[in-house]
Structure 1
């Protein structure tokens, strides 16, 4: 077969016995990742507020696989109905891949909190952010109250304070 019979990277496959071309999405490298924990070693838990760190590592990994748009809303309001069925199928497969990555890197408690039927990666990403944003506000108020109620005479020396 000649190089022109393969059309590498174009997403189009030409059958050698015909002149018709069928559009087929290329294999996406993100689909080859079998264990996301090798790439994102942090497990997001409610008890340990590592959301900022987890989210940044996750975004870097998603960006390195050209999937950042599944976790950050785009200004391009292209509806899934506006793209071809092959492109939509690939988009839903990649979105499911991102969902798996999210689910495999969060605690079971977090998973049961955000899991909803027909979720998208962006929807679950935003639910997690909302949980930790709300938690940060509550934590900030709690810490401020604790600090306000702290008296120097309760500590034997400055090092303990």
Structure 2
């Protein structure tokens, strides 16, 4: 949550799922039929494991729910980041306004400014 890298993570994760033919498990275009239920559930579990393996423990603690599908997790993570966007923007603005050079060199101070401001480019 602190690095504000949701958009990057999302793009990489969607690309990964697309290349393995399971994008439908996160975009909602895939559903099980009686004939494919077992295979669908196995693939959904695989996508869930990918999600679990690529998010922080604090996010995992927030979104982990029994019997959730990969799509459920995907939407929970999206809501977590999208709903907090305004609050995060205010926090970033405050961080930039209150940043002081202190003992930093001009180069290090500029690098710190750039690092803090870069998430705003999403």
- Unaligned ranges ≥5, structure 1: 1-45
Shift of 1:109: 1.1
Which structure is richer in relative contact order (CA contacts within 8 A, separation 6 or more)? 2
**Corresponding residue of 1:118:** 67
Give the RMSD, CA atoms, in angstroms. Answer: 2.8
The alignment status of 1:72 with 2:15, answered yes or no, reads: no
Q: Say how many residue pairs are matched.
A: 104
Shift of 1:143: 4.0
Please tell me whether Structure 1 or Structure 2 has the larger radius of gyration of its CA atoms: 1
| 1:126-141 equivalence runs, <5 A | 126-141=75-90
TM-score (norm 1): 0.56
Shift of 1:110: 1.1
- Unaligned ranges ≥5, structure 2: 102-108, 114-122
Distance 1:111 1:70 in 2: 18
TM-score (norm 2): 0.72
Distance 1:105 1:133 in 2: 18
Shift of 1:139: 1.4
Distance 2:92 2:8 in 1: 21
**Corresponding residue of 2:120:** none
